[in-house]
A and B are shown apart, each in its own frame.
Chain A
Amino acid sequence: MNFIYNAPVERGAPGTLMPSANRPMLSLPQHIKTLLLGVKLAALLILTTCLQVSAKITTAQKLSISFHNGSLEKLFAEIEKKTQYVFFYDVAILKGTKPVTIEMKDANVDDILKTSLKGQALDYSINDKTIFVKKVERVSGARVIGGPGNGVPAAVTGVVKSESGTPLIGASITIKKLKKTGVTNENGEFVLRDVPDGEYDVDITFVGFEQVTTRIKVVDHQAVLTAAMKQAMGKLDETVVKGYYNTTNRLNTGNVTTVRSEEIREQPVANPLAAMEGRVPGMYITQTTGNPGGGFKVQIRGQSSIFSGNDPFYVIDGVPYPSKAPSIINSSLQFGSPLNFININDIESIEVLKDADATSIYGSRAANGAILITTKKGKAGKMKVDVNAYAGIGKTSPNYKPLNTQQYLEMRREAYKNDGETPGTADAPDILVWDTSRYTNWAKVLAANPAHYSDIQTAVSGGTTNTQYLIGGGYHRETTSFPNSFVNPGADQKASVHFNLTTSSEDKKLKVSLSGSYLTDVNTVQSTDLTTRALTLAPDAPSLFNPDGSLNWAPISPGQLGTWTNPYSYLINKYKSQTSNLLSNAFISYSPVSGLEIKVSAGYTTTQTNEVATFPAAAYDPGYGIGYAIPVSAITASTFNSTNTRSWIVEPQAEYRINLGKGLFSALVGMTFHENNTYVQTSNASGFVNDALLENLASAGTVSTTISAPQYNYSAGFGRLSYNWQDKYVVNLTARRDGSSRFGPGRQFANFGAVGAAWIFSNENFFKRSLSFISFGKLRGSYGTSGNDQIGDYRFLDLYSSTAYSYQGLLGTYPSNLFNPDLAWELDKKLEGGIELGFLKDRILITASYFQNRSGNQLVGTPLSTVTGFGSIPSNLPAMVQNTGLEVTVNTINVRSKNFRWTSSINLTVPRNKLLAFPSLSSSSYKNTYVIGQPLNIKKVLHYIGVNDTTGIYQFATSKGEATYTPQTADLTTIVSTNPKFYGGIANSIQFKDFKLDFLFQFVKQTGVNWYSVIIAGQQSNQPDVVLNRWQKPGDKKPFEMFTQDPSSLAYRAANTYGKNSDLTYSDASFIRLKNVSLSYIIPGGWKQKAHIQNARIYLQGQNLLTITKYLGVDPESQGGVLPPLHVWTAGFQIAF
């Protein structure tokens, strides 16, 4: 906070503010100089690559000074030399100042300045490390609002602005002693009349800003006051970005959850989605693989669309960002994640918009919620350089114990005995050919190698009140848990740069901002996930390598085909993807008259991914005779994939704000023009003569290529009206009219809108009087619509496409799309109610909200009789899906003392998904997939009723309740749902002196697919050791059936065909996970000052450190046989100077 007594600067004579170090001035305007400074910084940046905004220095520096009869200019230079402060002032104001003499020991800069400026008609303010010196003047004629001789009564006048210089509209100015109150107008100006001469304390308050109390001296009934208010740090007053406008938690009429950089930076993760897990109520995130660069499943408030996309709408700095990753050919990455291609460290905050009030302004695209990412911006002040680096390791520890060799062989032999068969060398090399005394823990060898993490981020930032800059760069590398020292280390690496430049004219009427980031990512993670392989490979399987270092295929006699598939052969198949991602946006705003702001924001995004996956001959068993009997060219193949997405957006907007009655009215209108072009080229190439040529498409003998190049155009007009009456009643209306190229003529446009309202009842006087222990209370509600057009492009056109092959030298052209003019939007109706309460001066904040979303007009592929030539046609079905849920968050400040601070944050979501209607479901092909009244995410399965103790075979219930080994389709009567029943997180932050400990527990209650889905005990495949508890002889009552290896046996079929399709395969997959721990220490000591270090911090961080679960399988989050999320430990440091 800083406040300055000064007179408004006269028009036409703008003062030139200069850092004193640059005093022998060039006559360049300050912002150009800052730009030059930025260029110098860029050079530094290239050396160090990237950034982090430092923590602010709060302790005042002490210094001793002995200064005799010198000019103020020299004094300032002296202070600059001895401290890290920097002065900003107009040189002209020092003219005519008196020389000063100062002798002080261990004094605050504050005191020194106070002393030296006494009687100099100068005033100063300190903002962070910058000291602004300004002239104190009596009000001159130019801007007199009141004064003697003008016929206007004298008055106290002034301006209230934010730190960044934006006038604050509606701030209250109170002189308590006189019981006088004023409110600022649309220029942030106020007038208090009839103030008697004297000194007064003035309180300036504005929602979202810290209260300012200052003293003024009124002479001749007049005084001028300029106040710069600092944004409040309380949770309620944090800024919330809501599409095209901002608000605060206190005044928000909608439901928005914010995750800030402080929470993100405590986690050693590379994907923002990983950092959000367990922190956002209503948002369910699942990490689908532990591989770096891997995929995430994201759902905000449940699945609302039956068949079309359920992806949320991503927006980065106002520019839409793809919700699907470009990667398609590496299965071990589980489709990847688009957010893997932005640098997590560039993020200032992530806003998750959930209800109609928050999402309707995004109309057709926000049915599944919106995720707004805001990147870091520079802040006014002396240049800061920030370096943050960490390194660490990650490991898996699957919740799975396989059989050892002895147990395994016992199982195998018993299986043959049960089947009445004799093992042969072809089907049982594990018994007859391999060395049965061998034991290898394959899980350890193949899927539990330490993954290495390294990360460095640097940033340079700073600026003046009019121009701020930030330039940063970063590098991150993460490897897999698969063996990575062999041929091709599997890793994901990214390097990025980010910059932001904001500048405004002296009168703050014109503002220009430009940001950009560029990231390049190289991913070489093997495209075969070895986890399943590691868990199922026989423990007596042969050694991986022959003595000469070549792969061991263990043939019975040399030259023959091997007896196993060497798992290292999968590592010879290379995968490489190279992605570059450019995000840029520009923002220009101009305020021609007070209260009115005209803005244009524009953005351009391009993502280019090139992938290649190779299948070299070297990965094949030489027993095939590759090289002589079979030519290498008959085996070798590669897949190439290239995806290029280019997207631009232009959004002109106008916003008007005015005091209306006792409240503040604001209106926003705007338009959107957005075009997205994608180009995907996939080539399957084969017939290479040498493995070394596999990455060269031109060396392929045969190439077949497919191309898709969809275009998506989107335009809209949107508006918002809002009225805030004395911070008690807030009403917010939003509307959007959307057009999408995905629909046919006449169906392209649709309207969306929402109303949101809040009543801050704690601001009612009667409430303040009688229930003062409640420091904050708000009731809010919203209702509105949003839509979904995620059906793919061109689905309404009748199109012809090229056939795969040519015939008689001519490529065919076949009808690929039916003409479908009736296709239209999916429509979401969202209802929400919430209560927010603060107790004990907001030390306890509780929020509870209930929502009900109904999605109708579902875009469904309606099955057609193939007599029509097509299998289905996309159409709108009046099916209805409902998502309801309760979201609760509790934020508490448990302890708040000088040296000890402990805060907690708890969130809980109880979701419910239900199919309300589906016309003629029973006669549709979905009759076995969905049930009215049940969630979408269900399976109809058989009911398992135990092992028959006479035959030792799994039994299932028929629809009549009888036991059977051979159930029919009609017996699929049990319904299981894998939707979470509830989920949430518990975060704690404990600060003791210079230590800070943060940890987050994530919890999920759910049912999942367990390891019965893979168990057929007895075949040539290792099993979890629990299978030893199997049926062996009549009378045994055991949970596992008899061992079998014969695919035609009843027992085999009971496990493989029926067991996998029964409730045996589903069980509790709930878990509590210590998702994140961060311990940091701020290094104290005076040495930092000498080294010009503002702040130094060291830290230890961990991710997924502990999991408590009853889940039967590798991992309850990722489930199935994929590499689970890794346990990660890292150590790092941060220095700001």
Chain B
Amino acid sequence: MKIYSRWPLLLLLLTQVACKKFVQINPPITSISSSQTYDNDLSAASAVTSIYEEMMRSNQNTSGGSLLSISCIGGLVADEFKNYQTSNAALSQAYTNSLSSTTGYVWGDIYKQIYIANAVLAGLDKSTGVSAAEKRQLIGEAKFMRAFQHFYGTNIFGGIPLVTTTNYQVNNVISRTPQPQVFRQIIADLKDAEGLLPDDFVTPTGGTVTTERVRPNKWAAASLLARAYLYTQAWDSAEAQATLVINNTNLFSLLTDMTGVFKMNSNEAIWQLQPVAPGYNTYDAYTFVLTGAPGSSRFPVALASTLINAFEPGDNRRVIWVDSITTGGKKYYFPYKYRANTTSSNTAPVSEYLMILRLAEQYLIRAEARAQQGNLQGAAADINVIRQRAGLLPTSATSQPDLLTAVYHERQVELFTELGHRWFDLKRTGNVNAVMGSPGNVCQNKGGTWSSNWSLFPIPASEIIINSNLAQNGGYY
């Protein structure tokens, strides 16, 4: 009896000692822990790189799955695209300005990338293995990206949760931050980034200068900062930042050959994203450049007549950046800024990168900022730089209101179908209700009914179910 009465004790002891060690295992060979990620320059740079990869990979989706499809969705809700794929609920709803909170647009992608940016900032903060120079660059990039995502988020949804940590318990119950505060954070992040980022286009690690314009540098930060100031009507700061970029003629210049603007690493590019899926160039070209009648899942949209009619006669942008296809007796116009509409079987090297920030916008930002500050001549000069490149005569506008109208028009025909510029411009200039909503105007022509509520996208209903602190935008349930 003595022997086995001790067995349970023996068992317990053995279990505690031997078993405990045995069930503590290392991470799988296919993954690394967060501390391993930030223990050297290369893998830390790789973590930041995943943001760019993610943006370009998930870009293969026009139904609102990614931020960059804002080119398509933004064009549909405004007056740039006509939807032909009526069976696609996300596109149909966008086109008729009857967005649904159950469809969900871009929200999740924005926060996924904000999470990575915050994870990088937290990881680098604790890291001792990453060199000081690399740390500066990567923190700069992460802050830039955090600002970039918040910028798009707030312009699409209005006030949004301002997320600066990785703590899921906090972020799961977070409330919406009013838009001015979101902008304050965007500007603060961009200022930090401008101070941290290098003057040149550099490699992911080591700071070697490269011709690849695919990582944000100081000028990207300045450009986005100029835009953020413009959107918040800080005209002088907007002008100052735009001037910084325009004056850097070593790196940036407007191309006289307009077919080359959207080519990879063109001189006009301040920041581009490199396509990542093998065989593909940009997804914009893949989707927008029609080789058949629109209406299929590959070719859901064509340019709307409102945009075609907006060009002045003789505008080279109408000739060079717009093309058409005639099929079944009907003519369809499509954007032809990006031309390489390749598929996975493409074996030729990539020729076009996705343009995120380019010099022409900086001229138009400065023109608007100058006009707002009463520098009418300066404003006209900047407008004319753009008009001249498009083969048009200088603007005839001289008064402040006329010059502002001229700038808005110039933005419409210069930046069309690029990342939702038109939609955001309509909203920030206060023109959205007039353009979209007056009787017989855009929204009605598209088959919808306008309400000023529709200038903000709905927050996905699934998000509100999980986090009841998130209030829905007006007009949506």
For residue B460, which residues in chain A have a CB less than 8 angstroms away from its CB? 866
User: Does A709 sit within 8 A of B, measured CB to CB?
Assistant: yes
Residues in chain A near residue B115, CB distance under 8 A: 815, 868-870
Per the 8 Å Cβ criterion, residues 793-812 of A in contact with B are: 793-794, 797-812
Q: Contact between A801 and B19 (Cβ–Cβ < 8 Å)?
A: no
Please tell me if A814 contacts chain B, counting CB pairs below 8 Å: yes
Near A by CB (< 8 A), chain B positions 289-334 give none
Instruction: Give, as a whole number of angstroms, the nearest-CB distance from A798 to chain B.
Output: 5
Determine whether the beta carbon of A812 is less than 8 Å from that of B50.
Answer: yes
From B23, B37, B42, B344, give the contact of A739 (CB < 8 A).
Answer: B23
Query: Contact partner of B7 among A631, A669, A863, CB < 8 A?
Result: A669
Complex: chain A residue closest to B46, CB-CB: A813
User: In the complex, A408→B35 CA distance in Å?
Assistant: 66
Closest to B118 in A: A869
Question: Among the interface residues A800, A801, A810, which one has the most CB atoms of the partner chain B within 10 A?
Answer: A800
Contact between chains at A805 and B53 (CB < 8 Å): yes
> Which residue of B32, B42, B203, B345 is within 8 Å of A633 (Cβ)?
B345
Q: How far is the CB of A214 from chain B (nearest CB, A)?
A: 36
Contact between chains at B172 and A868 (CB < 8 Å):
yes
Docked-complex contact B172 and A713, CB < 8 angstroms: no
Q: Does residue A919 face the partner (Cβ distance < 8 Å to B)?
A: no
- What is the bound-complex CA distance between A656 and B6, given in angstroms? 13
Residues of A contacting B173 with CB < 8 Å? 865
- B347 near A: Cβ within 8 Å? yes
Q: What residues of chain A lie closer than 8 Å to B27, measured between beta carbons?
A: 794, 797, 799
Q: Is the CB of B171 within 8 A of A865?
A: yes
Report the separation of the CA atoms of residues A805 and B277 in the bound assembly, to the nearest whole angstrom. Answer: 7
Q: Are B23 and A813 in contact (CB under 8 A)?
A: no
Decide if B57 touches A866 in the complex (CB within 8 Å).
no
The reply to whether B49 and A798 contact each other, CB–CB distance below 8 Å, is no
Known: A673-B22, A799-B32, A804-B57. A866 touches B214 (CB 8 A): no
Assess whether B420 is interfacial by the CB under 8 Å rule. no
Q: Are B23 and A741 in contact (CB under 8 A)?
A: yes
The answer on a CB contact under 8 Å between B19 and A749 is yes
Please determine whether A719 and B7 come into contact, CB atoms closer than 8 angstroms.
yes
> Complex formed: what's the CA distance from A1044 to B173 in Å?
49
In whole angstroms, what is the CA distance A794 to B344 when docked? 34
Q: Is B8 in the interface zone, CB < 8 Å from A?
A: yes
Say yes or no: is A568 at the interface (Cβ < 8 Å to chain B). no
Find out whether the CB atom of A869 lies under 8 angstroms from the CB atom of B7.
no
Is A212 interfacial (CB 8 A cutoff)?
no
Contact among B10, B14, B34 with A798 in the assembled complex (CB-CB below 8 Å)? B34
Cross-chain pair count, CB within 8 angstroms? 223
In contact, A715 and B46 (Cβ under 8 angstroms): no
Q: Is the CB of B45 within 8 A of A669?
A: no
- Asked whether, in the complex, the Cβ of A793 is within 8 Å of the Cβ of B28, the reply is yes
Complex contacts, A812 vs chain B, CB 8 Å = 46-47, 49-54
Minimum CB distance partner of A816 in chain B: B31
Is B274 an interface residue when CB atoms closer than 8 A count as contact? yes
Q: Could you give, for residues 612-644 of chain A, a 1 whenever the CB lies within 8 Å of some chain B CB and a 0 otherwise?
A: 000000000000000000110111000000000
Question: B7 contacts A667, CB within 8 Å?
Answer: yes
| B466 close to A (CB within 8 Å) | yes
Instruction: Report chain A residues within 8 Å CB of B19.
Output: 671, 673, 715-717, 737, 739, 749
Answer yes or no: B29 CB below 8 A from chain A CBs.
yes
* B113 to chain A: closest residue by CB: A869
A715 touches B116 (CB 8 A): no
Q: How far is the CB of B105 from chain A (nearest CB, A)?
A: 12
Residues of chain A within 8 A (CB-CB) of B112 are 866, 869
A710–B22 touching, CB < 8 Å = no
**Which A residues are in CB contact (< 8 Å) with B54?**
803, 812, 814
In the complex the two chains form, is A867's CB within 8 Å of B46's CB?
no
Q: Is A1007 an interface residue (CB 8 A)?
A: no
Query: Residues 771-805 of chain A: 1 if any B CB is under 8 Å from the residue's CB, otherwise 0?
Result: 00000000000000000000001100111111111
In the bound complex, how far is the Cα of B236 from the Cα of A1093, in angstroms?
Answer: 107
Task: Choose, from A349-357, A700-708, A902-910, the stretch at the interface.
Answer: A700-708
Chain A min CB distance to B146 (Å): 12
With A667-B4, A813-B50 in contact, is A818–B25 under 8 Å at CB? Answer: no
List, in ascending order, chain B residues with CB within 8 A of A804's CB. Answer: 53, 57, 276
Whole-angstrom distance between the alpha carbons of A803 and B46 in the complex?
A: 9
Cα–Cα distance between A807 and B49 once the two chains are bound (Å): 7
Interface flags for A401-444 (1: CB within 8 Å of B; 0: not) read: 00000000000000000000000000000000000000000000
Among the listed B10, B22, B31, which residue makes an inter-chain contact with A713, where contact means beta carbons less than 8 Å apart?
B22
Which of A715, A800, A806, A867 is the one whose CB lies under 8 Å from B18? A715
Cβ of B232 within 8 Å of any chain A Cβ, yes or no, is no
With A715-B23, A800-B47, A815-B116 known to touch, is A671 a contact of B14 (CB < 8 Å)?
yes
What residues on A are CB-neighbors of B161 within 8 Å? 867
B11 interface hit (Cβ, 8 Å): yes
* Residues of chain B with a CB closer than 8 A to A570's CB: none
Contact B32 A800 (CB under 8 A): yes
Does any Cβ of B come within 8 Å of A1035's Cβ? no
* Residue of A711, A812, A865, A870 with most chain B CB atoms under a 10 A cut-off: A865
A467 CB within 8 Å of chain B = no
A799 and B31 within 8 A (CB): yes
Q: Which residues of B contact A552 (CB under 8 A)?
A: none
User: Which of B4, B15, B50 makes the CB contact (< 8 A) with A716?
Assistant: B15
The answer, among B31, B214, B344, for a CB contact under 8 Å with A801, is B31
A806 CA / B345 CA spacing, docked (Å):
18
- The answer on a CB contact under 8 Å between B15 and A671 is yes
- Answer yes or no: B107 CB below 8 A from chain A CBs: yes
| A808-B30 contact in complex given A667-B7, A719-B7, A815-B115, C-beta closer than 8 Å | no
A798 touches B33 (CB 8 A): yes
Chain A residues 912 to 957 lying within 8 A of chain B, measured CB to CB, are 923-925
Determine the residue in chain B with the shortest Cβ distance to A924. B465
A870 and B215 CA atoms in complex are apart in Å by: 25
Give A863 to B276 CA distance when docked, in angstroms.
30
Complex interface bits, A850-872 against B, C-beta within 8 A gives 1, otherwise 0? 00000000000001111111110
For residue B42, which residues in chain A have a CB less than 8 angstroms away from its CB? Answer: 810
How far, in whole Å, are A701 and B18 apart by their CA atoms in the complex?
Answer: 50
Which parts of A641-657 form the interface with B (CB within 8 Å)?
Answer: 654, 656
A922 CB, min distance to chain B CBs, angstroms: 10
B residues less than 8 Å from A631 (CB atoms): 345
Whether the Cβ atoms of B466 and A864 lie closer than 8 Å is yes
Answer whether A867 and B467 are a contact pair too, CB < 8 Å, given A717-B19, A739-B22, A803-B54: yes
Q: Which residues of A contact B462 (CB under 8 A)?
A: 863, 925
Q: Are B168 and A800 in contact (CB under 8 A)?
A: no
Q: Which residue of B22, B49, B171 is within 8 Å of A808 (Cβ)? A: B49
Residues on A with beta carbons closer than 8 Å to the beta carbon of B36 = 800
The docked-state distance in angstroms from the alpha carbon of A749 to that of B17 is 12
Q: Is B278 among interface residues, defined by CB-CB distance under 8 A?
A: yes
Evaluate contact between A808 and B23: CB separation under 8 angstroms. Answer: no
Known: A800-B37, A807-B52, A866-B108. A714 touches B28 (CB 8 A): no
When the two chains form their complex, are residues B278 and A805 in contact, meaning their CB atoms are under 8 A apart?
yes
Say yes or no: A711 contacts B278, CB within 8 Å. no
Enumerate chain A residues within 8 angstroms of B204, measured Cβ to Cβ.
Answer: 808-810
Closest to B25 in A: A741
Q: Is A686 an interface residue (CB 8 A)?
A: yes
B278 lies within 8 A of A702 (CB): yes
Q: Are A671 and B25 in contact (CB under 8 A)?
A: no
In the assembly, what is the distance between CA of A633 and CA of B345, in Å? 8
Knowing that A717-B12, A925-B462 are A-B contacts, what are 9 other residue pairs whose CB atoms are under 8 Å apart, sorted by A's residue number? A669-B11, A711-B25, A713-B22, A748-B23, A807-B214, A812-B46, A815-B119, A865-B466, A869-B115
Residues of A within 8 A of B (CB): 630-631, 633-635, 654, 656, 667, 669, 671, 673, 686-687, 701-702, 704, 707-711, 713-717, 719, 737, 739-741, 745, 748-749, 793-794, 797-818, 863-871, 873, 923-925
13 A-B residue pairings within 8 Å (CB atoms): A669-B8, A707-B29, A717-B15, A739-B19, A741-B24, A800-B32, A802-B30, A807-B49, A808-B215, A812-B49, A865-B463, A869-B111, A923-B468
Smallest CB-CB A-B distances: 8 pairs: A869-B115, A812-B50, A634-B345, A715-B19, A805-B276, A717-B15, A814-B50, A866-B108
